[in-house]
C-alpha cells in the first residue's frame, strides 16, 4: 500500500509541481523509471531461477530413477549370489571350482553395482547440497535486493516530501507577492484616478 501510494504521489507531482522545480521533478521521474527497470530485471531473474530449478529437479529425478534401477539390480545379484553359496556340484556334495568361480563372479558384480550406487548417491548428495546452497544464496541475494528497493522507495518518499514542502513555500511566497502587487496596483490606480479627477473636475469648478 505504501509503495502504491508513493507511485500515485509521484504521478500527481508530475502535474502539480511548479516550473521552478522542474529539474528536481525530472530527477525524481528518472529515478522512478530506473526503479521500475530494476524491478523488471529482478522479476526476470526470478523467472530464470525457477526455470533452472525445474531443469535441476528433472535431472535429479532421473538420477533417482537410475538409482532405484541399480538397487533392484543389486537385489537380483544378491539373490543369485545367495543361491550360488548353496550350490554344490561335486560328487560328494562339495563345491567345485566352477561353483566358486560363479560365486566369485556374482560377488564381483555386486561390488561393481555397489560402486555405481555410491556414485549415484554422491551425485544426488551434490545436487541436494547445490540446491540448498543455491536457494540460500538466492534468498539472501533477493532479501538484499528487496532491502535496496525499500531504501530506494524511502528515499523517493523523502524527496517527494521535500518537494512538497518547497512547493508549499513557493506557493505561499507567490501568494504574498501577489497580495503586494495588488495592493500597490490599487494605490497606483487610486492615485491616477485622483489626478484625473483633480485635473478635469476640480479645474472646471
Domains in the chain: boundaries: 2-204
pLDDT greater at residue 148 or residue 98 = 98
Cβ pair 127, 56 in contact under 8 A: yes
| 157 vs 151: CA distance, rounded Å | 10
Residue 50 clears pLDDT 80, i.e. is over it:
no
- The residue whose grid cell reads 535429479 is 60
Residue 141 clears pLDDT 50, i.e. is over it:
yes
In this prediction, residue 3 has a pLDDT band, given cuts at 50, 70 and 90, of very low
The DSSP call for residue 96 is P
Cβ pair 171, 21 in contact under 8 A: no
| 131 vs 59: CA distance, rounded Å | 12
Cβ pair 63, 202 in contact under 8 A: no
pLDDT digits (tens, 9 = 90+) for 125-136: 666 565 555 555
For the entire predicted model, the pTM comes to 0.37
Amino acid at each position: 500500500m505504501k509503495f502504491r501510494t508513493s507511485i500515485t504521489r509521484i504521478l500527481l507531482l508530475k502535474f502539480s509541481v511548479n516550473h521552478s522545480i522542474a529539474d528536481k521533478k525530472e530527477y525524481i521521474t528518472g529515478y522512478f523509471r530506473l526503479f521500475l527497470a530494476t524491478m523488471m530485471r529482478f522479476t526476470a531473474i526470478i523467472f530464470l531461477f525457477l526455470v533452472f530449478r525445474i531443469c535441476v529437479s528433472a535431472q535429479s529425478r532421473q538420477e533417482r530413477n537410475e538409482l532405484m534401477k541399480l538397487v533392484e539390480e543389486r537385489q537380483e545379484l544378491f539373490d543369485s549370489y545367495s543361491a550360488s553359496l548353496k550350490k554344490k556340484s561335486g560328487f560328494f556334495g562339495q563345491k567345485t571350482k566352477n561353483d566358486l568361480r560363479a560365486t566369485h563372479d556374482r560377488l564381483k558384480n555386486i561390488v561393481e553395482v555397489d560402486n555405481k550406487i555410491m556414485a549415484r548417491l554422491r551425485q544426488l548428495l551434490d545436487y541436494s547440497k547445490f540446491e540448498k546452497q543455491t536457494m540460500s544464496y538466492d534468498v539472501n541475494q533477493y532479501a538484499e535486493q528487496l532491502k535496496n528497493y525499500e531504501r530506494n522507495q524511502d528515499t523517493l518518499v523523502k524527496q517527494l516530501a521535500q518537494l512538497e514542502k518547497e512547493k508549499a513555500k513557493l506557493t505561499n511566497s507567490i501568494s504574498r507577492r501577489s497580495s503586494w502587487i495588488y495592493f500597490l496596483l490599487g494605490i497606483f490606480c487610486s492615485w491616477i484616478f485622483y489626478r484625473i479627477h483633480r485635473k478635469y473636475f476640480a479645474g472646471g469648478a
